[in-house]
A and B are shown apart, each in its own frame.
Chain A
Amino acid sequence: MTDQLNLSSWTCPLPLRNYPTIVMGHGSGGKLMNDLIRHMFMPLLDNDTLSQLGDSAVLDFFPDSDTPARLAFSTDSFVVSPLIFPGGDIGELAVNGTINDLAMSGAQPLFLSAGFILEEGLPMEMLGEITTSFAAACQAAGVQMVTGDTKVVNKGHGDGLYINTTGIGLIPADVAIAPKNARVGDAIIVSGTIGDHGMAIMSVREGLEFETRIVSDTAPLHELVEVMLAASPEIHCLRDATRGGLAAALNELASASEVGFTFEEGKVPVQPAVRAACEMLGMDPYYVANEGKLIAIVDGGVAEEVLAAMHSHPLGQEAALIGQVVADHPGMVISKTSIGGSRVVDLPAGELLPRIC
């Protein structure tokens, strides 16, 4: 029977290099999205500021005057479903997410705009609840929404509600934080437990629901960043670990700075329930989204001070030093596993999927 088996030759499907249409994976913060940005948008829209691909753009105004100003300018869109989830809702998410983009440039967030795209049929009560959250989040963070827009789309075209925001903040003169500033010898710090937001969403996602106390970690990080900068100005990079999780944030920074990152699996803080949920669904916490956590690349010599400062702030109590920047394997992120082996932690390919294997 075996002589009929073709064990010596091989067959293979046609390659799927180019998707003719957008697929969900293009929005997941991983390689597909990266490709879309680099091959569709950048060639047509590129300029020096955009090419930095920071969480926010740093714009210099009146550089030669006595009172130069550096603004951080960001945009973000919020398409989460369900609109209300354990630990928050899309309103709160939108405000905090925008503030965080600005905070990652070291800016003090000041103003934001919001465009609400409402789907026909969205209950008024729900919109009221979300708007109340939005307002509360603005107040808590000390920012003002100063301009907005409202549109309605036909039923079936919008997941209930989408929010697009822009944010403006002011960057203090002596702050120089950018994705390309990581240097060999720098320390890699994560501000707290990873995977909370993504797993909170999973826990209410149809078909995958499970009972748990995991809640979203949505939070504005600008005050934490202030505290860190007060401890030391030697903060080279900041990235909030949103879609694509810790892995995406680390890879993007390593890539932008053209250095290698190594970290220890055992040092990355993960809540036991998040770990359990990831095990159950076959997902890796490194790839799960966060909405209130940042990665900081700081000068090795000041890591301890910065960490101590973070621990004194409610949003940084579980901050941990997880690794360092190295000259080896530039652009790659390697983790040392709990048994002492090493593993490449790459950008996630596309959408995070539960698996059976």
Chain B
Amino acid sequence: MKYLDEYRDGELTRKLLKEIEATVTRHWKIMEVCGGQTHAIIKSGLDQLLPPKIDLVHGPGCPVCVTPLELIDKAIALAARPEIIFTSYGDMLRVPGSERDLFSVKASGGDVRIVYSPLDALKIARDNPHKTVVFFGIGFETTAPANAMAVMQAKTQGIQNFAMLVSHVTVPPAITAIMESPHVKVNGFLAAGHVCTVMGYWEYYPLVEKYHVPVVVMGFEPVDIARALLMCVKQLEEGRAEVENAYARSALKEGNQSAQNIIKQVFEPCDRAWRGIGVIPNSGYRLRGPFQGYDAELRFPEIQTITPQESSVCISGLVLQGVKKPNECPAFGTECTPQTPLGATMVSSEGACAAYYQYGRYTMSMQERELTK
């Protein structure tokens, strides 16, 4: 596949990794903030090939993981109603709410359907005029233009039986929060390549200037990841702090203007709660005035009184900020596993805990073998 295969070149990746090894002289903590990138790193085994001086941590880059519990509970409440067809991206179906997940709602007779694109949800609304189609609008800025388009189209075409449960989160405020946090000591950031494709990366310049932390825009394939890491390490070793772009074939500094325009037309920034972290000001999107008629929370105001029930053990929050590794959680691998998840980071296929569960068991098993030799 063009634009994929050449960036999966094993030889080239290993050579880049060798270069990283030769360049690094001190310990550096580097954070990537994109669930897709976490997934790519773990799937290719790239993190195991990094020199020990590089500590690669996974930030809150998984919209599945950070969707507030309250919104999951609201989604479940809506999905259970007979007059609603609840549509969602596949990722969300296994995320546990306070009591159950969307899968079990489906099992109890709720009409829950996976869609590939938000336009599919709109089509379902057109085909089912006697039901209301609610779409779970999650995602970072990458998905916002698509979700915005669905709402825009609903309005233009006069589709009344459609509503969106909005749970958008944005990246720069989260990175700022992490940079400002006294607990977290990240030396460099790898920025999400597709978020930057949509939004551009001009927002990172003031952050880099203020905190003197390098930011490198990164793609998703092993060559892209290794190259971005090399660029970041070079900056750190040379004492530089700049914004660099290692995904220039897709991401431009100004981003995609058309996509940004529709986001501005349909959404506006708002405060958003991040599961496991708390409310980060201006880190979310909500529907703007002219489109509020499509807001599921306003269409079904009774769900606004839902209060989630949290219990503690899961340290998703600390994991999401790179403060703790998944295998430092007391419940990791015992009470909390991918099929009995306590937190979203274990559910999501690129949640750090799920990724570590896979890799972690292996290293523990190797260690055990060493001990019994």
Contacts and interface: CB of A to CB of B under 8 A. Distances in A.
Q: Do A and B bind each other?
A: yes
A19 B104 contact: yes
B143 interface: yes
A35 interface: yes
B42 interface: yes
Interface string A1-25: 1101111111111111101111111
A343 B358 CA distance: 7
B276 A11 contact: yes
Given A13-B310, A337-B45, A354 B365 contact: no
A340 B311 CA distance: 40
Point out which of B313, B338, B344 has the most chain A C-beta atoms below 10 A from its C-beta.
B338
A353 B90 contact: yes
Contacts of B82: none
A340 B8 CA distance: 11
A20 B323 CA distance: 36
A277 B232 CA distance: 33
Contacts of B90: 282, 353-356
B348 A281 contact: no
Contact of A7 (B45, B93, B183): B183
Given A7-B317, A12-B314, A346 B276 contact: no
Nearest to B108: A21
A276 B4 CA distance: 10
B349 A5 contact: no
A334 B335 contact: no
A350 B101 CA distance: 13
A219 interface: no
Given A13-B69, A16-B96, A344 B358 contact: yes
Given A31-B339, A338-B10, A357-B35, A6 B114 contact: no
Contacts of A8: 183, 318
Contacts of B114: 207-208, 353-354
Nearest to B113: A207
Nearest to B354: A349
Contact of B116 (A13, A14, A20, A281): A281
Interface stretch (B162-170, B238-246, B277-285): B277-285
Contacts of B340: 15-17
The size class of the interface chain B forms with chain A is 35 or more
A1 B180 CA distance: 10
Given A13-B69, A340-B10, A356 B48 contact: no
A349 B314 contact: no
B214 interface: no
Nearest to A334: B362
Contacts of A272: 1
Nearest to A276: B1
A305 interface: no
B287 interface: no
Name the prevailing secondary structure of the A interface residues: loop
B338 A13 contact: no
Contacts of B362: 329, 332, 334, 342, 344
A340 B45 contact: yes
Interface string B314-350: 1111100101000000000001101111111000111
Contact of A341 (B49, B62, B276, B311): B49
A357 B361 contact: no
A16 B339 CA distance: 9
Contacts of B222: 338-339
B320 to A, nearest CB: 9
A32 interface: yes
Given A6-B277, A23-B106, A11 B369 contact: no
A328 B366 contact: yes
A16 B341 contact: yes
B177 A5 contact: yes
Contacts of A31: 338-339
A11 B349 contact: no
A329 B45 CA distance: 17
Nearest to B324: A10
A338 B44 contact: yes
A21 B107 CA distance: 7
Contacts of B115: 207
A339 B46 CA distance: 7
Contacts of B184: 7
16 contacts: A2-B180, A4-B279, A8-B183, A12-B343, A15-B335, A15-B342, A21-B108, A31-B339, A207-B113, A341-B47, A342-B45, A343-B44, A353-B114, A354-B114, A355-B349, A357-B36
Given A7-B277, A344-B359, A353-B114, 10 more contacts: A4-B279, A5-B177, A10-B312, A338-B222, A339-B14, A340-B45, A341-B47, A343-B43, A355-B90, A357-B350
